[in-house]
Amino acid sequence: MVECHGPSPDAVNRATTFGVRQRSPAPPPLRSFTIPTHYRSDLIGRLKAFRKAQDPKKKDLSPTVLDLGPVRFVFARHFGFCYGVENAIEISYKALEENPGKRIFLLSQMIHNPAVNDDLTSRGMRFIQDTHGQMLMDWSELKADDIVIIPAFGTTLETEAKLRTLGIDPLKYNTTCPFVEKVWNRSAQLGQKDYSVVIHGKAAHEETRATFSHTAQGAPAVIVKDMAETQELGRIILGELPLSRFHELFGTRCTPGFDPVKDLVRIGVVNQTTMLATETQAIADHLKNVMVQKHGEADLKAHFADTRDTLCYATNDNQDATSELLKAEADLALVVGGYNSSNTSHLVELLEQRFPTYYIKDETEILSVEAIQHFNYPGHKLETTTNWLPAKRPLTIILTSGASCPDTLLDRVMLKVLGFVEGVKDPRQVLEVLLT
């Protein structure tokens, strides 16, 4: 772990060994985004900036520790707003600024964070659809001079076409993440080379629906949810299961006319960018081995496309940094993010391997020193846990967030917890000393 005075050589070596060589290619040339000041953090943001200045290429993924005496907070090297989210936020607020007096609509949740979406709707924006694509209003209510913002997850070609028939340009304020578009482009390239596309994702998720739509225009496609489904798909390819099993399992998650006999001869794997990168890679590796069994090592390239470079660098970084947290000693973990945030839920899954972990949307979920309300992701329900904050001192707490969570929420969570503990140092004063 890195204290605020900087990383140790051992930490650097450990982080480099852990996964830097596996990381996806660098993001597009970095640029600064104009983010509203109410999303910026006076505390956590300074720690992130400090680590970034020390290690701009993120070669050291070891955590950062903020020692406040009776309480120590441990922060992942990489968390919070990613490139795609900052891009989406900038475009959304630009739309507000450039269109005073006009009606502005969000096609659906711009990102999966309630604080951000609530702020946009408080400024007059309205949702057209929910996150599952169900209409919240009738298309007929839209007018040609209305503004419609496409969310960071992108949207389907069918929805884009619908907006154009209404006289609305869907790309004028298009916040689709560049890395999602990268997946679409690679899928198109695979189709041009007569590959079918296996999409690792959640079929109901906005991004997967969009990726499926864009892929389907140029290639046969099928969606797999996890390794268990992938293994079944592999057995179908190898002839170990009847073709009827394909239609039972994937019939509603494949392109019309998908023929497993001919459409599973040449395949490539892409993913919903917020899925666990390690799981996507494991799925790709499994299908690669299936194709070796089916066609032989010598003919592998003719039957399996290498698509590792489509994995989102930010998702990878978040997950790799969270995996580094598993090496820390801590009493509990707090993960902050929207309950429908796929990337946040995967961070929770990782941390639950070692620590009591509480998935909260903001500081209001911390009800008292005795009780915390948190989201049970597997059960998809809110629950309340008592005696969640140990009495031991010093107390070590992991605090991190998903890619769509503003750093200000982590500030508020940290300060809420500190209010329950006597004798803690003022984090602002500690930061002033450490960062000067």
The per-residue pLDDT for range 392-426, each reduced to its tens digit, is 999 999 999 999 999 999 999 999 999 999 999 99
Model confidence band, residue 1 (pLDDT cutoffs 50, 70, 90): low
Q: In the predicted model, is pLDDT for residue 246 greater than 50?
A: yes
Which one of the listed residues 207, 324, 363, 365 is annotated catalytic? 207
Class of domain 2-82+314-434: alpha beta
Q: What is the pLDDT of residues 112-144, one digit of tens each?
A: 899 999 999 999 999 999 988 999 999 999 999
d(CA 255, CA 417) in angstroms, rounded, equals: 49
* pLDDT tens digits, one per residue of 73-92: 999 999 998 889 999 999 99
Residue 315: what pLDDT?
80
Specify the pLDDT at position 17.
24
Where residue 12 falls among pLDDT bands split at 50, 70, 90? very low
Which CATH number does 195-310 carry? 3.40.1010
Percent of the chain with pLDDT over 70: 93
3-state secondary structure (DSSP) of residue 86:
helix
User: Where do the domains of the chain lie?
Assistant: 2-82+314-434, 83-165, 195-310
Residue pair 105/148 in contact (Cβ under 8 Å)? The answer is yes
Bigger pLDDT: 363 vs 39: 363
Compute CA 403 distance to the chain's CA centroid, rounded to the nearest angstrom: 6
- The count of other CB atoms within 10 Å of the CB of residue 419 is 11
- Is the pLDDT at 371 greater than 80? The verdict is yes
Under 8 Å between Cβ of 374 and 399 = no
CATH architecture of 83-165: 3-Layer(aba) Sandwich (3.40)
pTM equals 0.85
CA-CA distance, 131 to 328, in Å (whole number)? 36
Contact criterion met (CB below 8 Å) for 8 and 2 = yes
pLDDT at position 313: 75
Asked if domains 83-165 and 195-310 share a fold, the reply is no
Q: Supply the pLDDT for residue 14.
A: 29
Section 228-252 average pLDDT? 97
How far apart (Å, rounded) are the C-alpha atoms in residues 280 and 269?
Answer: 8
Digit-coded pLDDT (tens) for 151-185: 999 999 999 999 999 999 999 999 999 999 999 99
Percent of all residues in the chain with a pLDDT value above 90, rounded to a whole number: 80
Question: How would residue 355 be classed by pLDDT, with cut points 50, 70 and 90?
Answer: very high
Strand pairing of 196-200 and 267-271? Answer: parallel
Cβ neighbour number for residue 240 with a 10 Å cutoff: 10
Q: E strands within 155-240? A: 196-200, 221-224
> pLDDT value at position 16?
26
> What pLDDT does residue 318 have?
87
207 an active-site residue? yes
